[in-house]
Chain A
């Protein structure tokens, strides 16, 4: 067990892809005294429970830009971190089963193209060329982007953590942040179950627990925790090039470089909760959906299922940056089901904000203050979203 620091320049609450990514970026820029607090083991939250899908095919411009920049980062991150993150750009195929989806997807592709993401709408015949096992009898169309892909989430976490530690960052696992001390409107320290760390800056990267962390200093976040269930199917030789997504079935299926196939379906009636126990009705529901979309999956076996908790905001966009009232408290949460996709670029921008004190332009649409507006544009591309 490492000794607790008495002083830090930055304390990051949360050892997931956001907290570890930010620790790496700050260390890379020369910051010496970076501390990450993680209540459990690295990636014990949503960062270690997701399928690793990396997709630029989103419906909000600001999310698309973060995803586009994240793809560029992931494409070279293995070399940068000296750790293989197993990023495979096999594309993402998004299926349309209703006329409404077909029309909406056309608009989305137009927006994505205007932001230099080379997605396109395709006919069922071409979709079947990309994924030969696809059932096309009910399929009306699809969108495809060849530079989207899939990675191994834990490898990203370990890679960030090891690289940050090599540069001097301290990652304290099994250490719980219990409180944040604020005096005169400024952050002074973080109280943990192992002692106190003095710091002028605290990052709230606590994922599904972000709202609780913010409430320690009286900041109210609109984030709510939603369960999402997932299963892994036995490892096989490469057979599924792109990640396949059907919003209609709230289904996604993708094959990792390890050979395993990750698949999940959403439950639109799920109330907010932190319940991590798996549901008995999940696997039959997943099986029916996956067989309807790709019938040959009936011959494959599920190895295990688990639950992750998504930190959802009302508009499906993360909350990034400073908040009014508490100097030194920075939000890096609310990524919902898009944390792996958006965080690689987001943590670079947050590092810039922390080091310069200026909010980069790309972060402006992600302020907490946006929730004062009456009308919010909502991200539609989160499988099983509420």
Chain B
């Protein structure tokens, strides 16, 4: 059985092919690649996809994963309800 699509980012439905295409277009730093493909920007905030995106970018550029780096991590770690942030009781 062949796999038609390899989904890397499940929040934003981004395939490996789309990530490789973005790298070929010149989006070769991890911050730009994140933004151009939409990976790492969904509700998981990269917890599912970021390590794969780094691996794909490192492989395509022939670099080490350390050289590729990680995207700047932004708070909060998990999505939080605005009601909770406002100090309201959780229903």
Contact = CB atoms under 8 A, between A and B. Distances in A.
Contact of B29 (A41, A154, A284): A41
Interface of A is mostly: mixed
Interface in A216-266: 232-235, 258, 260
Contacts of A258: 38
A238 B42 CA distance: 16
B31 A41 contact: yes
Given A41-B29, A154-B35, A234-B43, A287 B83 contact: yes
Interface stretch (A95-103, A302-310, A319-327): A302-310
A97 B41 CA distance: 34
Interface in B27-41: 29, 31-32, 35-36, 38, 41
B39 to A, nearest CB: 13
Interface stretch (A193-201, A292-300, A337-345, A360-368): A292-300
A44 B29 CA distance: 12
Given A174-B29, A287-B85, A306 B74 contact: yes
A308 to B, nearest CB: 12
Interface of A: 40-44, 48, 154, 158, 173-174, 232-235, 258, 260, 278, 283-284, 286-288, 290-291, 297-306
Interface in B9-43: 29, 31-32, 35-36, 38, 41-43
B4 interface: no
B76 A291 contact: no
Contacts of A48: 35
